[in-house]
């Protein structure tokens, strides 16, 4: 009697664990990423190629999992319940419960409860959590026995898949292709945002990944230095003026134009000029000009970066549809769209907005107008001709403001506090009180 009871219990637990195996397989296959398995294939892990094959035929193997779960669930009810009920009859009978009907009801109810508990905990919930938390290793573990099961029941699984697809088509639903299971860019961005929200990703990591998504949609016009802020050199500039401008501005490359900035004829590299400084009397601007690379303003920066790499160039001149100069864009500008501002050891790093002790704010003149308006609750008008504070001031004054020059616009009083020969670097801005007289623009 005892060996029979032990045998029955072992049989019941085997069915429960078989059910758990197929549950693990189903949830692991759904949860694991193909990239994880590709990595295991590269490492030469055993069963990794098999796991990859299973993921490439996911629908068929999920059907195999469902068939296995169905078989084991039916088996547990069909075979397990009578076995367990029979095992419980003897204890009830020895307790004096001799009425056959009552004995059957009690043994059935208790065996049903025990089997349901085992099925839910050991056959469903525990395997499900195990698969979700260890999807990669679980997929590798189940791949061989699952493929063996699939091959044995392949005709039945194929028939079930065909019937399922036919039923879907009757309701106007097309079966999902694997390509449709891949996350879209929008979904990936949502996943990144959610990862940052729950703390899996840091703020910096979130911004870095998000900037990569935006990278492919950004155009040269969006990141270029606008023509109003481009420091360019006239081909007729004197030798001393050329050296002074290049030295003061500190750029490694500068455009050279003839007559107007719309006619850029090349670039001058600072290193070429420096190499001749010991013999400055022989410096001729025309002799050290290098070719410029021109691109349309609508070009995507992902494509532009590739072109600059192929051309071994670090700067491009952005032109409009009529061939006029709109601005310049450098490789550094492109990279900053991904990693943020890049500074070398010679750069003086200016914050976008810095609170001054007198209640005013110090503003980087290259700060975007829209960003400044949002942070300072200002109403500086946006215009296609400029994007920055510097461009705005050049537009409204009609000249390059001098150091300490004061400009009033609407309710803002602006003072130039840092500048180079050709460009404003930093301004101080304070709000004009209602008691002070204000005109639209005064300088």
CATH number of the domain enclosing 290: 3.10.580.10
* pLDDT of 438 strictly over 50: no
Question: Residue 365 belongs to a domain with what CATH number?
Answer: 3.30.465.10
Q: Judge whether 276 lies within some domain.
A: yes
pLDDT score of 179:
47
Q: Are residues 279 and 386 in the same domain?
A: no
Contacts of 415 (CB under 8 A, 6+ apart): 404, 405, 406, 407, 427, 428, 429
Q: Are residues 126 and 231 in the same domain?
A: no
Split into its structural domains, the chain has a count of 4
Q: Are residues 117 and 235 in the same domain?
A: no
Q: Is the dihedral of CA 27, 32, 38, 44 positive or negative?
A: negative
Q: Judge whether 347 lies within some domain.
A: no
Q: Judge whether 416 lies within some domain.
A: yes
Q: Are residues 248 and 279 in the same domain?
A: yes
In SS3 terms, 369-389 reads as HHHHHHHHCCCCCCECCECEH
Q: Report the chain's mean pLDDT, rounded to a whole number.
A: 81
10 Å Cβ neighbour count for 230? 21
| Domain limit, last residue, from 308, 339, 370 | 339
Q: Are residues 380 and 437 in the same domain?
A: yes
| 193-236 pLDDT, tens digit each | 777 788 877 877 777 777 776 677 788 887 888 887 888 989 88
Q: Judge whether 87 lies within some domain.
A: yes
Q: Are residues 245 and 314 in the same domain?
A: yes
Across the range 413-432, mean pLDDT stands at: 84
**Run of H or E residues at 325:** strand 325-330
Q: Are residues 171 and 59 in the same domain?
A: yes
Q: Judge whether 345 lies within some domain.
A: no
**369-376 and 389-397 are packed helices; what angle lies between their axes, rounded to 10 degrees?**
100
pLDDT score of 309:
92
Characterise 149 by phi-psi region: left (phi > 0), alpha (psi -120 to 50), beta (else): alpha
Q: Which of 18-32, 133-147, 308-322, 416-430 has the lowest mean pLDDT?
A: 416-430
Q: Are residues 231 and 330 in the same domain?
A: yes
β-sheet with 233-234: strand ranges across: 233-234, 253-258, 260-269, 289-290
More confident residue, 352 or 420: 352
In sequence order, the β-bridge partners of residue 183 are none
pLDDT score of 92:
62
Q: Quick one: pLDDT band at residue 318, thresholds 50, 70, 90?
A: very high
What is the C-alpha separation between 317 and 21, in angstroms, rounded? 63
| 138-173 pLDDT, tens digit each | 999 999 999 999 999 999 988 888 888 888 888 887
What is the C-alpha separation between 363 and 419, in angstroms, rounded? 12
Q: Judge whether 348 lies within some domain.
A: no
pLDDT score of 345:
47
Name which of 297, 272, 295, 294 is nearest 285 in CA terms. Answer: 272
Q: Judge whether 199 lies within some domain.
A: yes
Name which of 184, 182, 180, 210 is nearest 195 in CA terms. Answer: 210
CA distances from 22 to 8, 145, 156, 164, 191 (A): 22, 10, 17, 20, 28
What is the C-alpha separation between 44 and 136, in angstroms, rounded? 15
Name which of 105, 122, 93, 162 is nearest 24 in CA terms. Answer: 122
Residues present in the chain in total:
443
Q: Judge whether 306 lies within some domain.
A: yes
Q: Are residues 101 and 194 in the same domain?
A: no
Structural domain harbouring 129: 2-180
Q: Are residues 15 and 145 in the same domain?
A: yes
Q: Are residues 85 and 27 in the same domain?
A: yes
Residue 353 has which token pair?
A: 């907005």
Q: Which segments of 114-237 are extended strands (E)?
A: 225-226, 233-234
**10 three-state secondary structure:** helix
Q: Are residues 290 and 369 in the same domain?
A: no
**28 three-state secondary structure:** helix
β-sheet with 315-319: strand ranges across: 225-226, 325-330, 315-319, 294-296
């Amino acid at each position: 009697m005892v060996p029979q009871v032990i045998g029955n219990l072992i049989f019941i637990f085997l069915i429960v664990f078989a059910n758990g195996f197929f549950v693990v397989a189903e949830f692991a296959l759904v949860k694991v990423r193909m990239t994880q398995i590709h990595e295991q294939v590269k490492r030469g892990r055993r069963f990794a190629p098999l796991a990859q094959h299973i993921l490439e035929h996911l629908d068929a193997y999920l059907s195999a999992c469902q068939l296995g779960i169905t078989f084991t669930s039916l088996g547990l009810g069909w075979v397990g319940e009578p076995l367990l009920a029979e095992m419980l009859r003897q204890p009830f009978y020895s307790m004096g419960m001799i009425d056959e009907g009552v004995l059957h009801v009690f043994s059935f109810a208790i065996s049903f409860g025990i089997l349901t508990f085992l099925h839910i905990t050991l056959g469903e919930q525990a395997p499900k959590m195990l698969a979700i938390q260890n999807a990669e290793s679980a997929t590798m573990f189940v791949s061989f026995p699952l493929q063996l099961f699939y091959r044995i029941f392949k005709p039945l699984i194929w028939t079930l898949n065909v019937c399922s697809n036919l039923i879907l088509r009757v309701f106007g639903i097309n079966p999902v292709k694997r390509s449709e299971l891949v996350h879209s860019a929008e979904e990936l961005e949502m996943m990144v945002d959610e990862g940052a929200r729950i703390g899996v990703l840091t703020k910096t990591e979130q911004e870095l990944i998000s900037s990569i998504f935006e990278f492919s949609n950004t155009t040269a016009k969006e990141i270029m230095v606008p023509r109003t802020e481009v420091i360019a050199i006239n081909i007729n500039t004197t030798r001393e003026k050329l050296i002074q401008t290049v030295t003061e501005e500190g750029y490694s490359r500068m455009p050279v134009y003839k007559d107007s900035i719309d006619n850029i004829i090349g670039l001058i590299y600072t290193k070429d000029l420096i190499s001749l400084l010991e013999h400055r009397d022989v410096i001729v601007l025309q002799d050290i000009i290098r070719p410029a690379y021109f691109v349309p303003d609508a070009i995507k920066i992902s494509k532009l970066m590739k072109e600059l790499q192929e051309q071994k160039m670090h700067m491009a001149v952005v032109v409009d549809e009529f061939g006029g100069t709109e601005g310049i864009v450098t490789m550094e500008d492109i990279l900053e769209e991904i990693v943020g501002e890049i500074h070398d050891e010679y750069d003086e790093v200016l914050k976008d907005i810095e609170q001054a002790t007198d209640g005013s704010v110090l503003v980087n003149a290259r700060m975007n107008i829209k960003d400044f308006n949002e942070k300072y609750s200002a109403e500086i008008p946006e215009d296609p001709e400029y994007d920055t504070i510097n461009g705005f001031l050049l537009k409204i004054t009609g000249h390059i403001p001098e150091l300490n020059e004061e400009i009033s616009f609407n309710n803002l009083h602006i003072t130039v506090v840092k500048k180079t020969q050709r460009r404003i670097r930093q301004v101080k801005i304070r709000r004009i009180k209602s008691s002070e007289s204000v005109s639209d623009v005064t300088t």
